[in-house]
Each structure stands twice: as structure tokens, then as C-alpha cells.
Structure 1
Amino acid sequence: RIRESIDQGGVQELASSIREVGLINPITLKRVKKRFEIIAGDRRFLACKMLGFKQIEANIKEKTEEESEEIKLAENIIREDLNPIDIANALLYMENKLKITAEKIARRQGKTKNWVERKIALLKLPVDCINSIKERLISEKVGIELGKVEDTIERKRLLSYAIAHGATWKVVNDWVINYKMNRGVEEQIKNKELGQAEIKGQTVVKVKCMLCGKEGDITEMKYEPCHKECYAELMYEIQKRGK
């Protein structure tokens, strides 16, 4: 089965529709030894089962495993029925197990090679980001951006704020930029590389003010103690107000 999870709410809605108008599109099966496997129509099958149907109409196709997987993927992509992580796993399975190249997958699915590679790359994200994308708590772009935060504790904090506030990619991108900037400053302070500006040719370290957005000498910036939770909340409010 190409999908790892099925939206039960969606199945119930489909069942209500089938109850009213019947099963318009038969499911598609392929023969596997003495049994049958669903190629297309998982949700329709579950909806009919939910309604207590003993028999439903089905088309039987003689397909190879490669052809079957491509049909399953195509149907779900067209209907936007799979979450991005299930799609990524399906693409990886086709590439690794069935030995279908990214170019061939892309061509048959009406996508680009870059699209295939970007989807598969989602599986390299931290587990917390993968699970949040899979559960549709955050978008792919937000998950990719949060995946750039190496500090697990900080990433989880930002992830929780992104979910709680429905943060857009732009807001999260600014969070990550500030995280990396502050981390860089902390590293320089730790290594005692920061001093007064222009001492014997030393380069002036410039950072962007998180309030006005203008760059300035770091020695002229003011840093106040702040909890990470408070900092994330402050950054969210600043971005929300368009500052």
C-alpha cells in the first residue's frame, strides 16, 4: 500500500456520498497469487466497507509491480489525497526497490526531476519535522526551514510556535535567520573574537537589528537576557506586525 495513513474523516465523507449516489468509479485490482491487491481505490473500498457493502464493482488489471505503484501514485497525486511524506516514501520505494530513475518517475507522473528529488529529500529532515508535515500541522516549506535548526531543543521550540500560531514560511525563515545569527554571535563571543571595532584592521562585525531591520556594528547593539520562549514569541509578534 502506497499510503501509510488514511484520513478517516475523508473516508466518512466519501461514504456519505456513496450512500447517496452509489459507487460511480469502480476500484482497480490486480491478481497476486490467489488474492487481489487494490491498485486504485483504497478510500472507496474502505468507504464501501464502512457502509456494510458485501460486494462492489471492480476492474481487474494485469499489471507489473512497477506499473501498479505508478498508477497508485498518479491517482493520489492528482487527487491531492496523500500527505507529502507518504508521497516521498512512495517515490523512494519506486527509486530504490523498483529501480525506476527519478527522470522516468517524473516523466510518467507529469512532474519534473527536481520535484521528485525535493519530495524524497523531505525524508532527510529531523523526525519532528517529518511527523508534523505528515500530520499536516505545518507545510513542506516550513518543515524544510525548521530542519535547518541543528539545535534539537531550539528546533522543537520553534516548531511548537509555528504550529500554535500557524506561522508562514516567511515568518519561520526570519526565525531561522535570527537563530543562526545569534548562534554565530555566541560562537564568536565564546572564541573571544569580538572586541572593539577596527582594532588593527579587525573587521567590524555587523548584524541586523531585529526591530528596524537595519545593519549595525555589533558593539553598538544591546542584548538583554531573554527566555527562548519569550524570544520566539517576540519574533512572531514583530513579523506579524510587518516590522
Structure 2
Amino acid sequence: MDFDSLTVEPIELRMISPSKFPVRYAGGEDTAAMADLKESIKRHGLLHPILVRPLEHGFEIVAGHRRFAACRSLHQRFISCRICEFGDREAFEIQISENLQRKTMDPLEEAEAYQRYVTEFGWGGVTDLSRRIGKSEEYVSHRMQLLRLPDSAKSHVTAKNMNVSQALELVGAPESAEEMAEDVVRNKLTVKQIRKLKAEMDEGTVARRRKDSKSRETQITKKGILTLKIALSRMDDLVDAAHGTDPYERAAMIEFLMDMRRRIHSMIDEAIRFEKNRPKRRV
């Protein structure tokens, strides 16, 4: 539907309420982006009217919550609106689409909106939703998988310390996703490195799972092994990078790095042997 063809009318802000199905987290009025929006409105007025739907008493915002919040904080009495009749489902879809176009939703806000549409409201499946908002089924389902992450990992996604591709690799990880998330952020691991680490951890999970696997001593050893594996993955990247260096120095550089890699690998084997054979207190 072409909303630009709708007549623009001024409506008192007190007659307008936020959506009862918000797709973004509350807050954010004091951000730099909000400050810029308020300055623009003060200088040029509201360039893009908000979209509302009529209620029995007053109106409800369908699109334009930030513009509404900016005008309210500027103590404006009226705001320019386009009015149109929408059902709950269509209003929710328009909210999602507008925020996707403006790129104002973070990945977890998207995930929660998709989850509510499919599960809480039961308005359709992933296939139906993806078609209505112009995204692929894979895109929608991948976003929804982010909700399976522990809160600490989610916080890294929200803070943009970890991107969606990295976060998705942690879903269903063989070890604690919380610990892995910290390692990903601290060591700036790539998706390739995360996958390699997961494969190595998955191979050793069954062998390492003993009665004392939750003991403090075992956790220390496991973290040491994990640290060495991360270093080994980093070394592989350096070896790859060395192939692009000056031919005169390349051979010596690669030989040095491969020697370092062998040492790290030897340390990993030694740490695994230590964990296997170390004295353990009888319970």
C-alpha cells in the first residue's frame, strides 16, 4: 500500500498512544541519533509524518515511534499524521518492515518480533512471515535461533561485540555458550576459527566427561587447553598470511611459524595427558 497517498492531518499528541505490540525495546530517547532527530525537527519541522490507526478513543502509532517521542520531548502539541485502518497483524508487519528498512532494530529485537509473530500471536509460520516482510526463510529462522543463546551471549550481540554469524555458531555449542562467547569476544575469533574450535571440542567431549568434570581443577585444565587451541587457530591464520610475504623471507617465516605451531600442539597433547593422569581426590 502507498502510504504517501494518504492525507496528512495534525493530531494532538495526547490523543495518540504507542503500539500495544512494540517491536523495539523501550528507551533510547537520549541517544545521539535521537538528539540529531530532535535538532532536525526544531530546524526543519517533521519531514515525514507518522502513521497511525484509529482506535475507539484516539489513535495508535503504527510507524514512527521515535519521531513521536522526539516531538513529545520537544513539548509540541500537534504532530503530522497519516491515518489508515489496520488490523493488529498488518500493523505489526508494517512496524517490522519499517524498522528493517530504516535499520533501527538490533538482531535480538528482530528475533523477538519474529518469535512473537509466529509463536505468541500465531499469525503465521516462518514462511508466511518471511514473504510478508521481504526476507528469506533462512534469514528469519536464523534470527529466531539467537533467542536460544544465554543472556550473557545475547548482551554481546546487543552491544555489537559479536556479530550475528559469530553468535549463530554458539547456538548448540558442545561446551558452555557463555564461556565460548567470552572467548570469541576476548580473542576476536572469526567464524572459521569458532567452527574449528567447536569441532575440536566436540571430538573430545565424550572422552573428557567424567564424574569430576565439574571440579574446579578440571575446569582450570580445560580452560588452559581451550586457550592453547585458540592460539593454535591463530597460528594457522599466521601461516596462511605468511604465504603472501616476500619470497626472500617467506620460507624462513613459515618454518618459524610451523615450529611454533608444533610446540603449541605439543603443549595441547601434554595438557590433555596431564588432565587424564593427574591425581584425583576420591569422593
Give the TM-score, by structure 1 length.
Answer: 0.72
Q: Compute the displacement of 1:150 (Å).
A: 4.0
Q: Compute the displacement of 1:185 (Å).
A: 4.6
Amino acid at match of 1:3: R
Aligned to 2:235: 238
CA distance in 2, matches of 1:62, 1:160: 47
Root-mean-square deviation over aligned CA pairs: 2.9
Q: Compute the displacement of 1:232 (Å).
A: 6.1
Segment drifting more, 140-149 vs 230-239: 230-239
Aligned to 1:62: 85
Q: Does 1:50 align with 2:50?
A: no
Q: 2:49–2:79: 8 Å Cα contact kept in structure 1?
A: yes
Structure 1 residues without counterparts, runs of 5 or longer: 191-223
**Identical counterparts, % of pairs:** 21
Aligned to 1:182: 204
Aligned to 2:274: none
Q: Compute the displacement of 1:27 (Å).
A: 0.9
Amino acid at match of 1:169: V
CA distance in 2, matches of 1:20, 1:64: 35
Aligned to 1:143: 167
1:6-85 equivalence runs, <5 A = 7=28, 8-85=31-108
Q: Compute the displacement of 1:76 (Å).
A: 0.7
Q: Compute the displacement of 1:227 (Å).
A: 2.1
Summarize the Cα distance change of 1:22–1:94 in structure 2 as closer, same or farther, 3 Å threshold.
same
CA distance in 1, matches of 2:27, 2:199: 36
Deviations 1:118-169 (A, max 9, x none): 22222223333333223332111211212233433xx333312322344332
CA distance in 2, matches of 1:11, 1:23: 13
1:59-208 equivalence runs, <5 A = 59-96=82-119, 97-152=121-176, 155-187=177-209
Q: Compute the displacement of 1:176 (Å).
A: 1.9
Q: Compute the displacement of 1:54 (Å).
A: 2.9
24, 29, 36: which one aligns with 1:3: 24
CA distance in 2, matches of 1:72, 1:128: 28
Summarize the Cα distance change of 1:242–1:19 in structure 2 as closer, same or farther, 3 Å threshold.
farther
Larger radius of gyration: 2
Structure 2 residues without counterparts, runs of 5 or longer: 1-21, 211-220, 241-283
More helix by share: 2
Give the TM-score, by structure 2 length.
Answer: 0.63
Q: Compute the displacement of 1:48 (Å).
A: 2.4
Amino acid at match of 1:231: L
Amino acid at match of 1:132: H
Amino acid at match of 1:117: S
Aligned residues: 207
Summarize the Cα distance change of 1:139–1:6 in structure 2 as closer, same or farther, 3 Å threshold.
farther
Amino acid at match of 2:194: V
Amino acid at match of 2:24: R
CA distance in 2, matches of 1:225, 1:57: 60
215, 221, 224: which one aligns with 1:227: 224
Amino acid at match of 1:2: V
Q: Compute the displacement of 1:25 (Å).
A: 0.5
